[in-house]
Copies of this chain bind each other. A is one copy, B any other.
């Protein structure tokens, strides 16, 4: 039993925000105030060190809700947001900051730690989808997408590889080491973001992960700039990607 408990509800600027837990894991669901009977659902996963209501999450959700009339949900990742950190979390985070301070590569630590978190988070996302599909405005036969960059890709690639209900996904900015084997099982359309001057992920690593996806329809968007400089317009591009695959914008708000 995947129990969805709504813990708070508010409405602002045409968007209904419902905070919830699924099996105790906290999440948030954004929906159009004047919704269609049924609308696609986009699952998001946030980046490392962030949380479910980080501006990147709520901002992308607002675009999807307002421009497409879709529902958007995101969970706090293990050790993030309202969830406690374990001793293992604290140790890995300290190791990562020590590498950063020493000018050593963070990649191997992030790959290892994100892989650990993904093993915990993937079943939580399957349970989230089960629970949200019980809502009549989402339903069990609706279109489902996934959108996660950075750690959101570390969680999303193994999740989408194992989740046939997801029909399109936006990923980006992660290493191939733990993810390429999952990507080779993904066949749905994807859009993938890379930074050309990423100080953590080499061009070869980024391109290797993009290349690994088995999708016949896939797009790579590379922009000049460093790891944290992914341009804002890529969020609008991702929204258009979902609108292209999930049908005409419903403009429900």
Asked if B216 contacts A224 (CB within 8 A), the reply is yes
Question: A189: nearest residue on chain B (CB-CB)?
Answer: B224
List chain A positions with a Cβ less than 8 A from chain B: 196, 203, 207, 210-211, 215-224, 231, 233, 237, 240, 244
How many copies, total?
A: 2
Asked if A222 contacts B219 (CB within 8 A), the reply is yes
Could you tell me the distance between the alpha carbons of A177 and B222 in the complex, rounded to whole angstroms? Answer: 22
Could you tell me the distance between the alpha carbons of A240 and B234 in the complex, rounded to whole angstroms? Answer: 12
Asked if B219 contacts A215 (CB within 8 A), the reply is no
Asked if A224 contacts B233 (CB within 8 A), the reply is no
Asked if B221 contacts A219 (CB within 8 A), the reply is yes
Residues of B near A211 (CB, < 8 A) are 196
Could you tell me the distance between the alpha carbons of A219 and B197 in the complex, rounded to whole angstroms? Answer: 12
Residues of B near A221 (CB, < 8 A) are 219-222
Q: Give the Cβ gap from A118 to chain B, nearest Cβ, in Å.
A: 25
Q: Give the Cβ gap from A58 to chain B, nearest Cβ, in Å.
A: 23
Q: Give the Cβ gap from A232 to chain B, nearest Cβ, in Å.
A: 10
Could you tell me the distance between the alpha carbons of A217 and B231 in the complex, rounded to whole angstroms? Answer: 10
Q: Give the Cβ gap from A68 to chain B, nearest Cβ, in Å.
A: 16
Residues of B near A196 (CB, < 8 A) are 211, 218, 220
Could you tell me the distance between the alpha carbons of A32 and B165 in the complex, rounded to whole angstroms? Answer: 45
Could you tell me the distance between the alpha carbons of A218 and B196 in the complex, rounded to whole angstroms? Answer: 9
Asked if B224 contacts A217 (CB within 8 A), the reply is yes
Asked if B222 contacts A222 (CB within 8 A), the reply is yes
Q: Give the Cβ gap from A29 to chain B, nearest Cβ, in Å.
A: 29
Could you tell me the distance between the alpha carbons of A203 and B211 in the complex, rounded to whole angstroms? Answer: 11
Question: A241: nearest residue on chain B (CB-CB)?
Answer: B233
A-B contact pairs, 18 of them (CB 8 A): A196-B211, A196-B218, A196-B220, A207-B207, A215-B224, A217-B224, A218-B223, A218-B224, A219-B222, A219-B223, A219-B224, A220-B220, A220-B221, A220-B223, A221-B222, A222-B222, A233-B240, A233-B244
Could you tell me the distance between the alpha carbons of A223 and B203 in the complex, rounded to whole angstroms? Answer: 17
Q: Give the Cβ gap from A76 to chain B, nearest Cβ, in Å.
A: 32
Could you tell me the distance between the alpha carbons of A221 and B223 in the complex, rounded to whole angstroms? Answer: 9
